[in-house]
Amino acid sequence: MKMGRKTATFIRLTLSYLVLIAIAVCAIYPALWVLLSSLRPGTALFSPKLIPDTFTLAHYKELFTNPSFRYGVWYLNTLKIATLTMIFSTILTTLSMYALSRFRFRGRKNTLTVMLVLGMFPGFMSMIAIFIFLLQLNLLDTHAALILVYSAGSVLGGFVVKGFYDTIPRSLDEAARIDGASHTQVFIKIMLPLSRPMLTYVALTTFTGAWVDFIFARLVLRSKENWTLAVGMWDLVNSYQNSNFTLFAAGAVLIAIPITLLFVFLQKFLVQGLTSGASKG
């Protein structure tokens, strides 16, 4: 009887491990494959072996030296746009969601409903209008336009942040208010330190969003030296993919690495962000 239970546990565990390993292979394989492809000599997509016989960094070098792309410039552009978007969106989202979560004022429920409704329109339905709007403001082909549109759009996705502030007990700020703190002081001294996980989450998601967006960036950025990585990559895929797969792989690795590292290191905050959104709907 005792032996039986042990064998049953053993079988169950072995099966669990087998499934886990299978899933792990599926999860990692594409990443591993593209990484190894980027180090493979030659340009072909097809390769008889997963692990090449010799490794080369030539494709990475080509990205920065080939005159037909400006990979280095694109990298800097993207870094600039993503960082500024991150800063502005985080400030705007936290401030506005704090206000919506903490205060009861006329029109609050309506604001929330409007936000929700606006979030349900397919985003690029507004592309043409924004395009013409930017054209009239003379902002086409500038990075400022991208930053402006991304930051303004990020506010609508702030429900997670509001959910987070909803869970912080109101007695905290009430106590501070009784002690004579102004709203600004309460926000800066009490709420901001408490909302660090949420700030990290918002910063991370907005940074990534700007880092990889190609739909809007492709529409706004016209000249090649203003492009972002995503647009350049998209162009690379469309014009070179079949003839030069390994170059694409190298470019892909360089785009993915910063984001992937950030995600893995900030996993904890990510989980908190996702789940605090979950429990609050």
Partner 1 sequence: MNRHRSIAAILSVLFMGLGQLYNRQFVKGLLLIAVNATALIYLVPNIGKAIWGVVTLGEKTQGLKKVGRINVPVPGDHSIFLLISGLITILIFAIFMTIYIMNIRDAYRNGSLRDKGMAVPDFKKTWAYVTDKNFPLLMLAIPALGVLFLTIMPIVFMIMLAFTNYASPNHIPPKALVDWVGFETFANLLTLKTWSHTFIGVFTWTIVWAVIATVTTYFGGMLVALLIESKGVRLKKLWRTLFIIPYAIPQLISLLVMRNLFNGQFGPVNQYLGYFGLGKLPWLTDPFWAKVTVILVNMWVGIPVSMVLILGVLTAIPKDLYEAADVDGASGFQKFKIITVPFILFSTAPILIMQFAGNINNFNVIFLLTNGDPVKGDYQFAGSTDLLVTWLYKLTLNNSQFNMASAIGIIIFLIVASFSIWNYRRSRSFKEEDMIQ
24-53 residues near partner 1, rule: CB under 8 A = 24, 26-28, 30-31, 33-34, 44-46, 50
Nearer to partner 1 among residue 86 and residue 230 (C-beta)? 230
Amino acid identity of residue 33, one-letter, is: W
179's tokens: 């002690």
Tell me whether residue 77 or residue 93 sits nearer to partner 1 (CB atom): 93
Q: How many residues does the chain have?
A: 281
Decide: is 268 part of the binding site for partner 1 (CB under 8 A).
no
Contact between 8 and partner 1 (CB under 8 A)?
Answer: no
Single-letter amino acid code for the residue at 119: G
Nearer to partner 1, 84 or 255 (CB): 255
Residue 9 binds partner 1, judged by CB under 8 A: yes
Looking at residue 231, its amino acid is: V
Q: How far is the CB of 130 from partner 1 (least distance, A)?
A: 5
What whole-number distance in Å separates Cα of residue 153 and Cα of residue 159? 13
Alpha helices (H) along 187-244: 192-194, 196-212, 215-220, 229-240
- Whether the CA torsion 171, 175, 176, 180 is positive or negative: it is positive
Cα-Cα end-to-end distance for the chain: 47
By CB under 8 A, what part of segment 237-266 binds partner 1?
Answer: 237, 241, 245, 248-249, 252, 255-256, 259-260, 263-264
Q: Which is nearer to partner 1, 67 or 129 (CB)?
A: 129
Q: Which of 128, 144, 188, 192 touches partner 1 (CB under 8 A)? A: 128
